[in-house]
Structure 1
Amino acid sequence: MDIRKAVVSGSFYPDREEEIKKYIEHFNSSFTLENDLNMNIKAIIVPHAGYIYSGFTANLAYNIAARQNFENIIVIGPSHRHYLEGASIATKSEYETPLGNIKINLNLVEQLKNKFDFLGFDEDAHFEHSTETQAPFIKNYFQNSKIIEIVYGKIDFKKLSFLIDELLKKENNLIVISTDLSHFYKLEEAKHLDNICLNGIINKDITLLDKPCEACGKIGVKAIIESSIKNNYITKFLHYCTSYDRTKDNKSVVGYASFLIGEKT
């Protein structure tokens, strides 16, 4: 069978099911959920660093989104190591995780490839942690859902937004936008830069995202905000932290945040 092999298990996240489950149980023991969100969730924004750094922040969004049922989870993340024009969509049959494989919705993959000319398949683009770190969360929380993996490179965010608009037409699709925030600044500077990004998402203000706001997945963030404006969605900030919380190194910090996006109910 044609499988999208896990390439960062054992580094960004554990390569054994029981260890991943322990992480998630630990994350879930650290917060209580609101009873009424007044929101029909359409998308989440989550980080993609190692689970010891950003796993709590990402897990929070998945835990809440799991109150709803989704047929397809579409993960959209930036390419970190491979230069790419446009975007690549995984055309394998299944997606490997330590919790078991996830089926890829190949019918939807073909529909999207036929509709959007910037979508191709570049195998090297899928040796990518920004999308893969999401897969164990998806397998844990959405046992029966299928996955779509889209890795983008050099692309106009408005093109990506048209793709997201198409996916949002179906009630049973969840969009996952993967991004970390600022990288390797001193703690105070990192918080300053990250605050600009957070306000841009909270206020659905793309002009703020064009200011000194650093996010490796900024194109994806701008795309989902553009779609949110068009669809009159609301954004809900969930959590922000930095690598300092774990390392206590305030000289070289990475920022992480998570959000819900959807219809007010």
Structure 2
Amino acid sequence: MRAPAVAGYFYPAEPEVLRAQVTRFLGDAGPASGPVPKAVIAPHAGYVYSGSTAALAYAALAPARDRVARVVLLGPTHRVAVDGLALPEAEELATPLGSLHAAVPTADQRAALPQIVDRADVHAQEHSLEVHLPFLQVLMPRAEVVPFAVGRARPGTVADVLERLWGGPETVIVVSSDLSHYLSYDEARRRDAQTIAAITDLRGPIDHEQACGATPVNGLLEVARRRALTARLLGACNSGDTAGDKRRVVGYAAVAFDEPEPS
């Protein structure tokens, strides 16, 4: 069991309060428009700052809630450095709402993906994946999660993992990332608009000044180009729009990636 590390800090520790808050975020996001995306980018700050933006990504996935059986979840490492993509050495991922099953790649997939490592210490205090779990528990509680804390890795290295785990309609990909950090409100809006344009145009690589989750984002951009996905912005804001002052803000965006229509 991977125990929650940031309950009561990034999101409520009381189960009923947490469920009500996530449900409210999803309701405020409104019904999805457009196709159900294969992949999304969503932020990972405290819910008071970025929960409403994260909810836009999950609302886009909501129409597929009954068919999605597996979520490949990737987020950056903030506390413990690692080479490659780390799994948590846990069978369950816990939050105040209970737990989700942590799936792992098959033996054949692992043999072909030496960039995957097992590191419980990398996950123990990491928030970039944990803050997404309550959204998944409310939206698709029966889905299993393949949780990767992404350290030092090239875009193609991350893309190769996504390719191996791509699956079909039963699998979706969630990449966890915020945008710029601690700029003034107006400067953050300018720089984040440039970053969002690069992402939606599938241009990369972006750097860690543009997005703290640049490594998994760049991997997603690489596989999106390989597979001719298209990207669309679902919404963006920064902490100055939600719960922080405007002198030093953090940027957030929700982006959907759609597979091409069958010919």
- Normalised to the residue count of structure 2, the TM-score between the two structures is 0.92
- Which of 5, 8, 11 in structure 1 is aligned with 2:3? 5
Note the C-alpha offset of 1:213: 5.6
Please say if 1:153 is aligned against 2:151.
yes
- Could you list the per-position Cα deviations for residues 124-168 of structure 1 after superposition, in whole angstroms to 9, with x for gaps in the alignment? 110210011011111111121101110011111110011111111
Compared with structure 1, are the counterparts of its residues 169 and 143 closer, same or farther at alpha carbon in structure 2 (3 Å cutoff)? closer
Compared with structure 1, are the counterparts of its residues 33 and 217 closer, same or farther at alpha carbon in structure 2 (3 Å cutoff)? same
Partner of 2:98: 100
Q: Secondary structure at the match of 1:30?
A: helix
**What is the alpha-carbon root mean square deviation over aligned residues?**
1.8
Q: What pairs up with 1:217-228 in 2 under 5 angstroms?
A: 217-228=213-224
Q: Distance in 1 between matches of 2:219 and 2:74?
A: 10
Contact 1:112 1:119 in 2 (8 A): no
Identity of aligned residues (%): 28
Partner of 2:174: 176
Give the AA of the match of 1:161. A
Q: Secondary structure at the match of 1:83?
A: coil
Give the AA of the match of 2:118. F
Partner of 2:257: 261
Q: Secondary structure at the match of 2:41?
A: strand
Show structure 2 runs of 5+ residues with no match. Answer: none
Note the C-alpha offset of 1:112: 4.0
Contact 2:232 2:255 in 1 (8 A): yes
- Could you list the per-position Cα deviations for residues 183-211 of structure 1 after superposition, in whole angstroms to 9, with x for gaps in the alignment? 0011111111111110011111115x35x
Give the AA of the match of 2:112. K
- Normalised to the residue count of structure 1, the TM-score between the two structures is 0.91
Give the AA of the match of 1:179. S
Q: Secondary structure at the match of 1:41?
A: coil
- Which of 46, 49, 70 in structure 2 is aligned with 1:53? 49
Q: Distance in 1 between matches of 2:59 and 2:242?
A: 22
Partner of 1:135: 133
Q: Distance in 1 between matches of 2:260 and 2:136?
A: 24
Partner of 1:120: 117
Give the AA of the match of 1:258. A
**Count of aligned pairs between the two proteins:** 258
Give the AA of the match of 1:54. S
